[in-house]
């Protein structure tokens, strides 16, 4: 069972399933699927063709987790690296650290042979940063994330995500996607959950960790996703105007999805078929 955010997530889940069928591992499947979204820069929100920050260049976030042993790798604020998900995977395999950011993440990716493009001189970036219209503040002119969750035939779980984050973000802004328990959480005993939407409204509540904990307490993935939207809306000054969407899969392979205030299309792929489904926004309580 594979579930992914947005209709373009189906490209990733289909490729991931093919990778598994060809004998690839859980992580091979997740990485292969997400690499293709990064390559295509689907929706202009993932990969180097994704949304630029307020100073005009892309800083990318990605994360990958394998359930058994909670092996994890996460990169944030990555510049000029073609496949952030592969940088995250290399960090996972390296085994020593769970997360790298900025320049260190780029050095690590280069050191591991991950394709790169030249990045502008720091002084040019500083100028762009100074020239930006400070009165506007950070803009959120579009954003999306590809998040893929996998429950393999043997019951083990894995997940990954990749994004350019919020369009117009301040340089250095890290979204929810690379934060464990923010945009992605995988617990091999229970289930996995992922997010897309305004990262600040996800990470401040450790939303995907909450979803998994609700599944641990007996909720279905659908109930858990919806309940966490209500939980956040109850506490947040924005109420339901949160622009957040969740997906989840449990150890049994059941899936769920929920959205705060918009229709949310997502992809579901199994050995017997692959579809784009959608949920309506939750009904406010
Ligand atoms: N959650 C992402 C971020 O805030 C953006 C998105 O998924 O729409 O970085």
Residue 61 CA: which ligand 1 atom is closest?
Answer: 9
Q: What are the strands, taking DSSP E only, across the chain?
A: 2-5, 60-66, 71-78, 99-101, 146-151, 157-163, 184-187, 191-197, 244-250, 255-259, 264-270, 273-279
Spacing, Cα 243 to ligand 1 middle (Å): 10
Residue 184 CA to residue 193 CA, distance in Å, equals 6
pTM, 2 dp: 0.95
Ligand 1: centre distance to CA 6 (Å): 12
Pocket probe for ligand 1: among 165, 243, 245, 246, the residue whose CB has the most ligand atoms within 8 Å is: 165
Name the token pair of 77: 């604020």
Rounded Cα distance between 169 and 54, Å, is: 5
Cα of 145 vs centre of ligand 1, distance in Å, is 6
Query: CB within 6 Å of ligand 1 — which residues?
Result: 143-145, 163, 165-166, 175-177, 183, 196-199
Catalytic residues: 145
According to the model, what pLDDT value does residue 285 have? 95
Calculate how far, in angstroms, residue 53's C-alpha sits from the geometric centre of ligand 1. Answer: 13
Q: Looking at residue 40, what is its pLDDT? A: 94
Tell me which of 37, 58, 101, 144 to substitute to probe ligand 1's pocket, judged by most ligand atoms within 8 Å of the beta carbon. Answer: 144
Q: Is the pLDDT of residue 128 over 90?
A: no
The rounded distance, in Å, linking the Cα atoms of 80 and 59 is 8
Place of tokens 């339901």: 240
| Mean pLDDT, residues 9-19 taken together | 98
pLDDT number for residue 122? 66
Residue 28, pLDDT above cutoff 90:
yes
Inter-residue contact 48 to 39 (CB < 8 Å) = no
Burial degree of 100 (CB within 10 A; 0-12, 13-18, 19+): buried
Distance, in Å, from the CA atom of 223 to the CA atom of 23, rounded to the nearest integer, reads: 33
Does position 206 have pLDDT exceeding 80, yes or no?
A: yes
pLDDT, one tens digit per residue, over 84-111 is 999 999 999 998 999 999 999 999 999 9
Nearest atom (ligand 1) to Cα of 243: 8
Burial 18-33 (b: 16+ CB within 10 A, else e): ebbeeebebbbbbbbb
Return the ligand 1 atom nearest residue 197 CA. 8
Separation of CA 219 and ligand 1 centre (Å): 26
pLDDT for position 136: 52
What are the Cα distances from residue 188, in Å, to 149, 159, 218, 243, 251? 12, 11, 15, 28, 7
Smallest CA separation from ligand 1 atom 4, residue: 199
* pLDDT at residue 129 in the model: 67
CA nearest ligand 1 atom 9, residue: 165
Do 58 and 164 meet the contact criterion of CB atoms below 8 Å apart? yes
Q: Is 271 left (phi over 0), alpha (psi -120 to 50) or beta?
A: alpha
CA distances to 82, 122, 166 from 134, in Å: 29, 19, 17
Question: What's phi and psi for 126, nearest 5 deg?
Answer: -60, -40
Look at residue 242 and tell me whether its pLDDT is greater than 70.
yes
Domains of the chain: 2-117+139-274 (3.60.20.30)
pLDDT band at 134 (very low <50, low <70, confident <90, very high): low
* Most ligand 1 atoms within 8 A of CB, residue of 146, 196, 201, 232 to mutate: 196
Helix (H) or strand (E) segment spanning residue 230: helix 221-235
């Amino acid at each position: 069972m594979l579930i992914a955010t947005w209709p373009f997530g189906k490209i990733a889940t289909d490729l991931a399933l093919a990778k598994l069928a060809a004998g690839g591992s859980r992580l091979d499947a997740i990485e292969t699927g997400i690499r293709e979204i990064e390559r295509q820069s689907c929706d202009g929100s993932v990969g180097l063709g994704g949304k630029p920050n307020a100073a005009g260049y892309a800083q990318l976030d990605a994360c990958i987790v394998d359930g058994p042993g909670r092996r994890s790798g996460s990169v944030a604020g990555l510049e000029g690296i073609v496949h952030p998900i592969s940088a995250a995977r290399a960090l996972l395999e390296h085994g020593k650290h769970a997360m790298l950011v900025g320049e260190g993440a780029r050095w690590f990716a280069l050191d591991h042979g991950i394709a790169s493009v030249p990045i502008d001189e720091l002084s040019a970036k500083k100028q762009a940063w100074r020239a930006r219209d400070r009165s506007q503040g950070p803009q959120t002119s579009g954003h999306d994330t590809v998040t893929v969750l996998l429950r393999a035939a043997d019951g083990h779980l894995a997940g990954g995500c990749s994004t350019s984050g919020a369009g117009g973000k301040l340089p250095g802004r890290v979204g929810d996607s690379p934060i464990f328990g923010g945009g992605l959480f995988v617990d091999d005993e229970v289930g996995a959950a992922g997010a897309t939407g305004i990262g600040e409204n996800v990470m401040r509540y450790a939303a995907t960790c909450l979803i998994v904990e609700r599944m641990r307490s007996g909720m279905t993935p659908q109930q858990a996703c919806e309940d966490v939207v209500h939980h956040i809306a109850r506490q947040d000054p924005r109420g339901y105007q949160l622009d957040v969407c969740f997906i989840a899969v449990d150890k049994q392979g059941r899936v769920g999805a929920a959205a705060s205030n918009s229709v949310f299309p997502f992809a579901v792929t199994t050995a017997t078929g692959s579809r784009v489904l959608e949920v309506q926004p939750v009904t406010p309580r």
